[in-house]
Structure 1
Amino acid sequence: MGLFSKNDKSLVSTLQTLMKKATFPTSSSPLLSLINVDRARIKKEILELDISAEIPCLHLKTELVNYFSDLFSNTITFSAIDLTIAIKVKRINQSEKLTQVKQVIMVASGKGGVGKSTTSVNLALALAHGGAKVGLLDADIYGPSLPTMVGAVKAKPVSQDGKLLDPIIAHGLHTMSLGFLVDENDATVWRGPMASRALGQLIYETQWPTLDYLVVDMPPGTGDIQLTMSSDVPVSGAVVVTTPQNLALKDAQKGISMFDKVKVPVIGVIENMSYHECDNCGHHSHLFGEEGGKALAANAKVELVGHLPLDGNIGHDVDNGRPTLVSQPDSSAAKAYLDIAVRCAINLNKTNQSIPSLIIGE
């Protein structure tokens, strides 16, 4: 096999041939639809492999090394793999609006109290943990909670040019919320059109850097803010958060139906508060029902991208401004968020097309 140490292109071609029928780990997606082999050579029996990935997967480096070792071992001789991963997220957003953002993800729910905002923050952190550049927008004009959840209650955006506001950077995320601009104890008493205009200002009058993903934490329901986002923003896909409870499932179905009507693809359903794990014995108790999210996803023909536990620590973490991905990065809940982020990124990739703007009422 010494041939390959002198001929990188030949080795790259061989590796790509071996990858053709393989799928990405934990997924049914073809491996080569998500990664590209940029460089390969064998030096001192070490396979030096550089790949670029269209999904944030830096945290899966060990799993990928093991996966490639098994995949290549019958054809190529090497003692170990030295893997380098570059994250190159595909641009889905082809609109002239928000050109610095490659993909926009809405996180929505049919009703309040299902943990949507907590999920939004941890999903954004999980994407960033995988190597993506991520922004987080709080679209809840009436009840902004983002400043508290990221520990930036006292932060105030500044403007360098007198026109656009710089986002607040918290835990590596570029964030923006009306909560940064008004007193935390003030009530926002606005009619729908005023709230929609305020949302537009938050989106388009923020100096977002180049971002792979902008995660948008939506208010619950199917009202003006949802229609504004769906019609005026180049949304790439939506994630719907629910609990297994029947009432939550019914409202989540309404949310999915709304996205279908405005032609925003639903890239996944997340079932939150799926179970409670006993601290002593590890037994899972399904306090709000079982497999409701699975049934909802199957009925709507979308993927159930993950289950999250009913865990008081998760709520405690965001109450203290240090979400689970920050405060407990090695916990089972953090792993669940990371798995969800990968599945969402893969499903966004499957859309393969920019999402056309749809003006409601035209």
Structure 2
Amino acid sequence: MRNAIWAALATVQDPELCRDLVSLGMVESAEVSDGVAAVRINLTTPACPLKATIEADVRRAVLAVPGVEAVGVTFGATVRPPARLPLPGIKHILLVGSGKGGVGKSSVAVGLAASLALDGARVGLLDADVYGPSVAHMLGQGQGRITADAERRMQPIEAHGVRFISMANLSPAGQALVWRGPMLHSAVQQFLKDAAWGELDYLIVDLPPGTGDVQLSLTQNVTVTGAVLVTTPQDVALIDASRALDMFRKANVPVLGVIENMSYFVAPDTGQTYDLFGRGGARSLGLDVLGELPLDIDARQDADRGTPSVLAHPQSAVSLALRQVARTVAGRVSVQTLGSSLTSSPWPDAGSAVFCAA
């Protein structure tokens, strides 16, 4: 019967990777005793967006095996690394960019990092906005200081399960940095290569606005798994987002999709929805829209208080949307790492989704 169970599992496909669980090496064990099957699946990310679908498909397939009366499904997760790590101990580097300031890019980067950590991933966050660092404040560590270990490597600060480095923790509060390009390049290289990040599944990089020195330094010196664009719906933001998109394409950085931030506002007293900046403009970029995040008063207050909204208000609309976006991004990283049935661009046109044919 054990062989029959493995054969049944070989008919179950990962909905994103479009291959069966057995050939992907995701079936960690499958045993049966007294009619009860016990199956353990090792997911490609702890933030798997389709975990429930996989579980239902596994149960259905195994229950169809003659003699099986019940099925228990448990899960583990191992983020698969690429053929070559971008940095020692770091499996994937993900960039979060916008092209312009004021669209909530840093808030989204913090939310994505906290969400992935909540799901069990090992996450780092690099605040590469050297001139306007805000990550430390949003994580409640604005007064923290970066220290060095015995090997004189910078020790990231940890908050809410996320290891991070920010210039805010290296320079006096309120002090302006007046640096030219070479100094920016040197700082970014130190943050990446001279820091004791440890073992990370994902290192998220919060980019500064624009398409300048920091972006060039990153894309030319490390292998980036992918980038996520953040924009608000109005034209003035989309114009700069399109420039950031062009930069990523010229640097051969895969763009995983776009997040439309401040997409709408729901009045807390009436429940009425207002499209303050328009809505749906992100679709004009021709990318898959990963999520539409509402303008949320609690999320703003949570950032000021130093606790990510996904922790402070986990059931709010913006937190639920961020959790789903993070899982979608993690799934797409798995698709890119393990390969998919798509042969041209790894991501479809806006509005569609990556799923296997039924």
Q: Which runs of 5+ in 1 are unaligned?
A: 355-362
Residue 272 of structure 1 corresponds to which residue in structure 2?
Answer: 261
Deviation at 1:353, TM superposition (A): 8.1
Q: How does 1:55-134 map to 2 (within 5 A)?
A: 55-57=45-47, 64-66=54-56, 68-70=58-60, 72-75=62-65, 81-92=71-82, 94-95=84-85, 98-134=87-123
What is the Cα-based RMSD across aligned positions, in Å? 2.5
Residue 357 of structure 1 corresponds to which residue in structure 2?
Answer: none
Residue 15 of structure 2 corresponds to which residue in structure 1?
Answer: 23
Residue 13 of structure 1 corresponds to which residue in structure 2?
Answer: 7
Matched residue type, 2:74: T
Distance change (3 Å), C-alpha of 1:255 and 1:353: farther
Residues 241-297 of structure 1 deviation map (CA, whole Å, 9 limit, x = unaligned): 00111110111010000011111111111111111123345443222112111221x
Deviation at 1:229, TM superposition (A): 0.8
Q: Name the TM-score, length of structure 1 as normaliser.
A: 0.85
Deviation at 1:62, TM superposition (A): 5.5
Deviates more, 1:30-39 or 1:174-183: 30-39
Q: How does 1:267-306 map to 2 (within 5 A)?
A: 267-280=256-269, 282-296=271-285, 298=286, 302-306=287-291
Provide the rounded CA distance (Å) in 2 between the counterparts of 1:345 and 1:330. Answer: 21
Provide the rounded CA distance (Å) in 2 between the counterparts of 1:139 and 1:227. Answer: 12
Asked if the contact 1:111/1:220 (under 8 Å) is kept, the reply is yes
Deviation at 1:130, TM superposition (A): 2.0
Deviation at 1:36, TM superposition (A): 1.2
Q: Secondary structure at the match of 1:254?
A: helix
Residue 263 of structure 1 corresponds to which residue in structure 2?
Answer: 252
Residue 337 of structure 1 corresponds to which residue in structure 2?
Answer: 322
Matched residue type, 1:230: T
Q: Which residue among 310, 313, 316 is the counterpart of 1:328?
A: 313
Distance change (3 Å), C-alpha of 1:330 and 1:75: farther
Asked if the contact 1:239/1:270 (under 8 Å) is kept, the reply is yes
Matched residue type, 1:303: D
Distance change (3 Å), C-alpha of 1:202 and 1:40: same
Provide the rounded CA distance (Å) in 2 between the counterparts of 1:283 and 1:75. Answer: 51
Residue 337 of structure 2 corresponds to which residue in structure 1?
Answer: 352
Deviation at 1:70, TM superposition (A): 4.6
Residues 327-352 of structure 1 deviation map (CA, whole Å, 9 limit, x = unaligned): 11232222211211121122223333
Deviation at 1:307, TM superposition (A): 1.1
Matched residue type, 2:266: E
Matching of residue 49 in structure 1 with residue 43 in structure 2: no
Provide the rounded CA distance (Å) in 2 between the counterparts of 1:68 and 1:244. Answer: 40
Q: Which residue among 182, 189, 210 is the counterpart of 2:171?
A: 182
Count of residue correspondences:
338
Q: Which runs of 5+ in 2 are unaligned?
A: 340-358
Deviates more, 1:274-283 or 1:331-340: 274-283
Matched residue type, 2:82: I
Asked if the contact 1:23/1:31 (under 8 Å) is kept, the reply is no
Deviation at 1:92, TM superposition (A): 2.2
